[in-house]
Amino acid sequence: MTAPVRVPVPADLSDRLAIPEPLVRLEGVAKTYTARRGAGAVTALEDINLAVPRGRVLGVIGRSGAGKSTLIRLVNGLERPSRGRVIVGGAEISALSEPALRQERRGIGMIFQHFNLLSARTAAGNVALPLEVAGYERSAIRARVAELLDLVGLTPQADRYPAELSGGQKQRVGIARALATNPKVLLSDEATSALDPETTRSILDLLGRINRELGLTILLITHEMAVIRAIAHGVAVLDGGRIAESGDVFEVFTRPQAAITRTFLDEETGRTLPPALAARLTPGLAPGEGRQAVLRITFRGPHATDPVLAQLARDAGIPAGILSGTVDEIAGRPFGTLVVGIASDPGTVERAKDFLAARGLDVEVLGTLDLAGWQRTAAPRATDLTHVA
Amino acid sequence: MSPELLRLLVQATLDTLRMVAVAASLGTLIGLPLGVFLATSGRGELLAAPWLNRVLGLVVNATRSTPFIILVVAIIPFTRLIAGTSIGTSAATVPLTVAATPFIARLVEGAVREVDGGLVEAARAFGASPLQIVLKVLIPEALPGIVLGLTLAVVSLIGFSAMVGAVGGGGLGDLGIRYGYQRFMPEMMLAVVVVLIVLVQLVQTLGDRLARRMNKRLRHG
């Protein structure tokens, strides 16, 4: 079966069943670049299986060189897979001829890290380009461009050239251009990586709004956990050309399985200890004078606001000191981590773990902390404090 | 300067302008598409035709490596075929065009190669065909560079046109050699040089201004 097959599903039926049928599917995809002059072939992607349900936002996160750029370019056929199939909305992208592919690409918008706007065209001119290419009438183009510029909030800048726009405004033009031909899917290639945090925030808000209000399916690649957390429903962690882990953003973020996912989380969510504490932490339990067992408690969903430390002290008789903590929101659900120190004898630690686990919290023993030593050396040295501040 | 000599100077200036204008126009007509093709037909590029690319590249290089005065003489049979004669101002535009075309092609190629590859990728991503990419992305984006290249080509052509006196081509260069040098009339030589300087200045200023107006990468205002 090589021809693209479209199975018509009545809109009302699929709505009623509410099954998020995947709009984008990658099945057993591999991409190998054959190097020239006898040098070995380079494998960019291996055994990729991925599905983006209709109307959802899937984020693919990975370090540079993990294969993200190749992966996203397979979806609109800018790259062709060496093995496997790429299917978008029923059309098998990986099997289409170049002219047929051009037609399909009008249903797949793409935005870029460096915006890729034409310097010789105004904001409005850039947004008009895909419409001109698709052969729209001049009057239809004018109306659609005005509508799109309004959507991204750039109506006053319509006649400005890209050189006269800020980074965030340029990306808004990029988004308007990508949406011009009413695509089913939006591909975002590190769209916020060249922007400052505040602008990143506003662009992500815009993408989230477009996803909710227009029901647009989004596949984005990024190297920043914050981007995934802000707008993605699902996440796939790409490492060395393979998917190390994937699933619901909340699940993956709160119960990471792969080591690579943990490193991303540690950088971003402040789950690591302050350096001064981390330096005095030894793995495993070592009971003794002035020592504390260090536990990491993860609060998920409904438990995020429970007063567990008070309960732990009152009901189990185990007082706990807070070493670090964050409360956050992932995919709209509350999530917190608390690193606490308790008495380091094995019996107390076991009781505390059981008590917390019984309340639906994830508990992890990080090690033993020699707190006495820390307090003695740290307190009198005012110079250290200026560094901390 | 006597009215007779002044008349000669005006005629020579007009001859030069005509030769340069015709050669630059025809050279652009052929050189622009040729340059765009050279820039986009390499292996794995938009209009990939590596074999044709290499052949055209060779022809362009061969023409460009021949000194102009030798080219003028070497292609006399071709000139006669096109212009019907190998002598005179009209005939002289043939070698000028032959020299200008590959020069313009290389300048256009350079300007087109300067266009950010990300723009081509973006255009492919929204479904543009290779021809649409050339017409709507590459040429408009390369236009300031192309205009600067054409300016350079016109300035060079003004210089080249001085050599076609060797085949009775007329024009300012011919006037300078025959009157200024061979008849020992330094004032004619000076007049020719002044007119050439003014012409080149004018062309360069115009080209620069046009290119700057087209370049929207700079902030204006």
Contact in structure between B46 and B133 (CB atoms under 8 Å): yes
- A285 vs A293: CA distance, rounded Å: 7
User: Which whole number is the average pLDDT over B150-155?
Assistant: 97
Contact A276, A80 (CB under 8 A): no
pTM to 2 decimals? 0.83
Looking at domain B3-214, its CATH superfamily turns out to be MetI-like (1.10.3720.10)
Alpha-carbon span B109 to B115, nearest angstrom: 10
Q: Scanning every residue of chain B, which has its alpha carbon at the shortest distance from the alpha carbon of A180?
A: B126
Which residue from B minimizes the CA distance to A189? B122
Contacts of B128 in chain A (CB under 8 A): 102, 130, 133
Per-residue pLDDT at A389: 35
Whether residue A110 and residue B219 make contact (CB cut-off 8 A), yes or no, is no
Average of per-residue pLDDT values in chain A = 85
CA atoms of B115 and B64, how far apart (whole Å): 24
Mean pLDDT over residues A42-71, rounded? 92
Enter the ipTM. 0.88
Report B:72-131 residues touching A (Cβ under 8 A): 116, 118-119, 121-129
pLDDT of B20 over the 50 cut: yes
Question: Domain spans of chain A?
Answer: 20-107+183-267, 275-376
- Average pLDDT, stretch A284-306? 77
Distances (CA, A) of B17 to B100, B203, B206: 15, 11, 15
pLDDT value for A38: 62
pLDDT of residue B191: 93
Residue A372: predicted pLDDT: 65
Nearest CA in chain B to A129: B136
Question: Quick one: average pLDDT of A258-272?
Answer: 75
- Are B216 and A133 within 8 A, CB to CB? no
pLDDT of residue A388: 39
Predicted pLDDT at A270? 54
pLDDT per position as a tens digit, A366-389 = 888 876 655 554 444 444 444 433
Residue pair B106/B35 in contact (Cβ under 8 Å)? The answer is yes
Q: Domain spanning A275-376: which CATH class is it, in words?
A: alpha beta
**CA nearest A326: which of A273, A367, A362?**
A273
d(CA A162, CA A172): 11
Within 8 A of B137 by CB-CB distance, chain A residues are 118
Task: Indicate if the pLDDT at residue B185 is higher than 60.
Answer: yes
Q: What was the pLDDT predicted at B203?
A: 96
Higher pLDDT, A349 or A326: A349
| Nearest in space to A313 (alpha carbons), one of A352, A353, A367, A350 | A352
User: Residue A14: pLDDT band by 50, 70, 90 thresholds?
Assistant: very low
At A303, list the tokens.
Answer: 């438990």
Q: Where does the pLDDT of residue A129 fall: very low under 50, low under 70, confident under 90, or very high at 90 and above?
A: very high
Selected residue with higher pLDDT from A325 and A57: A57
Q: What is the pLDDT of residue A179?
A: 97
Domain A20-107+183-267: give its CATH code. Answer: 3.40.50.300
